[in-house]
Amino acid sequence: MIDILALVYIMIFIPLFCGGALAICKIINIKIPSYGSFIISLAGSAITFLISILLFDYTITYQGYTLENNYPICIIQNIPLYFGIYADNLSAIFVFFLTIMFFVANIFSYRYLLQNRQGFERFYIYLNFLQFSLLCFFISSNLIQSVAFLMILSLIEYLFANFYFQKPLSQENSKKVLEINIFADFIILIVSIAFLYFSTLVPDTINVPTMGYNNINSLGLYSFASLNPIIFAIICVLFITGSIIKSAQFPFLSKVYLTSGAPNPAFTVIISPVMLGLGVFLLLRLYPLLNLTPVVFEILKIIGIITALLGALVASKENNMKNVCAWTAVSQIGIAVFALGFKMYGASIFYLLCSGFGVALISCTLDTISYSTGSQENIKFLGGLREKLPLAAVAFLVGSVSLSGFIFSGFYSRATILGNLFAAGNFAYIILVLLCSFLTAFYLFRAYFRIFEGDYRGTIEPKMVSRAMNFAIIILFISCVFFGFLFNNYAGSIFTLLGYNKIASTNPFLNVFAFIVSAAGYYLAYNIYFTKRLRSLRTRALRRLAAQHFYIDSFLEFIFRDLILLIAKILAFFEKYILNCIYAIPPTTTRLISYLTLKSEIKNTNSQFFAIIIWICLIMLLTCLLYFKTGVIK
């Protein structure tokens, strides 16, 4: 009999062990051959992948059973903080997805890093620590553990964004990423502590792990009953504020493309729902709490759909391949958040994962193109790569088709959301989701036509892609094609537990209409970028706005830098001139008094008069001070 709990602990600590071993070798200068780091890391990720399959199987077999374990690791004040495992269906799905992503990233990374041989060990150390932190986050048993690992993940994201620290752009962007993440982390930390305080007032929660997810329902209900409703709403709103910042939702969209300085395999992980969906995962975990405050769902709806639309619009203008992937990921997560806003808990997770595979496939494909064309990332200087990189072309096409909702996984997830919206009679939102699909189809096929069709516009002759890279693409290719179908038909029990309705219950006419809308997006891209018949349809104003990211970056720049610096300058002025003047008052007064006293000695009547007034004032001041309260000195 396999002890699943022990295996889960092994799964969590293997990346830590691999990363730690590599870090120690680096610190004490033990030279490991370049493939040594790769093999250690790959072996670690393969084992975690296998164990995650076992965990996944376990959750399917024992439906609704949650694997739980807690170790007290430290006591702050009288509050025990636990390191624990809470592996329910939700965790199992995300862990499964996570381990696939890391396995792929490891396979993909070796050839990529061999290009310039820079930071080989560093990359694998960061990657392993990232995997460890993510596993700890997704399997965490309590909110404090989640927040702690959320902060560590912010740090690792910064390290990846600053991986090529010789590049000034990487330095600047990584700084911004860390600032935004820290901002979000502090919000979540403060609200978590507030919630911790209010929830520990419950007498029967003393013996349970602090802020445990197994108890979140009763904690939420108790807090809701005992707290001022406005304060409870503030707690929930702040939770979602922190979460949407972590998930790069409106207005913090730029967070994702700022991490584009990371090495491509790591970037694939960063823009996948594994990293970008951290905030959404937290919201899913806190769902029972948020469910008590309707206003937060309204906020989620609006923010989700705005993010999806803006992300898609910006991606339509973007020429950098990495940024196209980043904006695609943001847009897709926006729809998942939007679905969560409609309390479509299961559909939101399903969409998140389906789109995650699509985005990862596109990202990996574009990475191979970048590798093949000598780090050329501007799609303007590419073209005609279909013959030279046929697998990449097919993979990109499959990813695009899936994300646009034509067929494959993307179709199932979109149909579920549309079906639910239709059932609720939210036609306005259906139109907005369809608009997103239209834009997704448009910009993905735009990228496809620019990269794979026409003539090659680059200067470096494309080289062959290694088999390992192709293998990584094939894994994602299969996942992207079959994930939605398999899970919809064979692993639905998990999603049923999460409140997900099968595709069979959706409206077929709506699905056909959605297909037509996506096809319209494809048709437009085809006619503008392939046949070039409808080039005149391009709207300059919209393109300009999209190029400027709808001035969201400028707004954030103003808030996070210019405004702070402006206030700092005003205060510095106050400090330098006004405060110094105030400081000058006591010595000046002393000099004045001594001058007046001197004058009084030479019988100057005016000075004597002033001196008397000053002395009277001083005596009065002292008297007031002494008799301030009781007037009696014992």
Partner 1 sequence: MENFSSTIIFTILPLVAGLVIFLGLFKNNTVLIRRFAKYFSLFYFIYAVFEFFNRNTNSEFGSIFTNRFYITSWATGGISIGFDTIGSIFALLVSFLILICFVIAKSTINTKQRIFYSFVLFFESAFLTILSSHDFCIFCAALLFAALCNYVLIFNFSSLHAKNAAKHYLLLNSFVAFILSGAFALVYAILKYNAIEANIINFAYSSTDLSGTIQLILFIAFLLISAIKIPLFGFHKPLLGIIENANASLACIFLSEFILGFFIFIKFNLYILKDIFQIFAPAIAIFAIFNLCYFAFLAIGEKNIKKSFGYFCFSQSSIALCALCSISVDGICGAIFQCISQSLILLGLFSCYCFASQIFNTTKLPFMGALATHTPKLAAFTFVLTLAGIGMPFTSGFCAKFLCILGGFSTQVYSQNVIWICNLFIFLGFTLGAFYLIKTFQNIFFGTDECNKCKTSDLLRHRFLALLGLSACVITLGFIPYVLTGAITKYADMIVSSFLM
603 binds partner 1 (CB under 8 A): no
What does each C-alpha distance from 537 to 364, 444, 540 come to in angstroms? 31, 18, 9
DSSP state of 207: T
Choose, by CB under 8 A, the member of 24, 431, 464, 564 that binds partner 1: 564
C-alpha 480/C-alpha 515 separation (Å) is 18
> Toward partner 1, which CB reaches closer, 161 or 480?
161
- The 10 Å Cβ neighbour count of residue 587 is 9
d(CA 541, CA 550): 11
Asked whether position 464 contacts partner 1 by CB under 8 A, the answer is: no
Query: Which CB atom, from 431 or from 619, has the smaller least distance to partner 1?
Result: 619
Question: Which CB sits closer to partner 1, 238 or 361?
Answer: 238
Query: Are 129 and 19 spatial neighbours (Cβ–Cβ below 8 Å)?
Result: yes
DSSP structure string for 370-417 = HHHTTS--BGGG----TTT-HHHHHHHHHHHHHHHTSSHHHHHHHHHH
What is the rounded distance in angstroms from the CA atom of residue 577 to the CA atom of residue 595?
26
- Give the largest Cα separation in the chain, rounded: 108
Q: Is 76 in the site for partner 1 (CB under 8 A)?
A: yes
Query: Is residue 506 within 8 Å of 415, Cβ to Cβ?
Result: yes
Interface with partner 1, residue 581, by CB under 8 A: no
Query: Does 626 sit near partner 1 (CB under 8 A)?
Result: yes
Site string for partner 1, 222-251 (x = CB under 8 A): ------x--x--x-----------------
Pick the binder of partner 1 from 67, 95, 139, 152 (CB under 8 A).
Answer: 152
Options 169-177, 300-308, 403-411, 444-452: segment touching partner 1 (CB under 8 A): 169-177
Q: Closer CB to partner 1, residue 148 or residue 392?
A: 148
Question: For residue 346, what are its two tokens?
Answer: 């299961």
- Of the candidate spans 16-24, 142-150, 289-297, 444-452, the one that interacts with partner 1 by CB under 8 A turns out to be 142-150
Could you say whether residue 29 binds partner 1 (CB under 8 A)? no
Report how many residues bind partner 1 under the rule CB under 8 A: 56
Taking CB under 8 A as the rule, which mask of x and - marks residues 494-533 in contact with partner 1? Answer: ----------------------------------------
Q: Are 101 and 272 in contact (CB under 8 A)?
A: yes
Burial (CB count <10 Å: 0-12, 13-18, 19+), residue 250: buried
Nearer to partner 1, 196 or 486 (CB): 196
* Residue in 1, 28, 74, 541 binding partner 1, rule: CB under 8 A: 74
Question: What's the full length of the chain, in residues?
Answer: 634
Spell out the SS3 assignment of 583-621.
HHHHHHHHHHHHHHHHHHHCCCHHHHHHHHHHHHHHHHH
The smaller minimum CB distance to partner 1, of residues 149 and 287, is found at: 149
Contacting partner 1 within 173-212 (CB under 8 A): 174-175, 178-179, 182-183, 186-187, 189-190, 193-194, 196-198
Q: How far is the CB of 564 from partner 1 (least distance, A)?
A: 6
Output DSSP code: residue 261.
G
> What are the residues binding partner 1 (CB under 8 A)?
74-79, 147-149, 151-152, 155, 162, 165-166, 168, 171, 174-175, 178-179, 182-183, 186-187, 189-190, 193-194, 196-198, 228, 231, 234, 560, 564-565, 567-569, 571-572, 575, 579, 583, 625-634
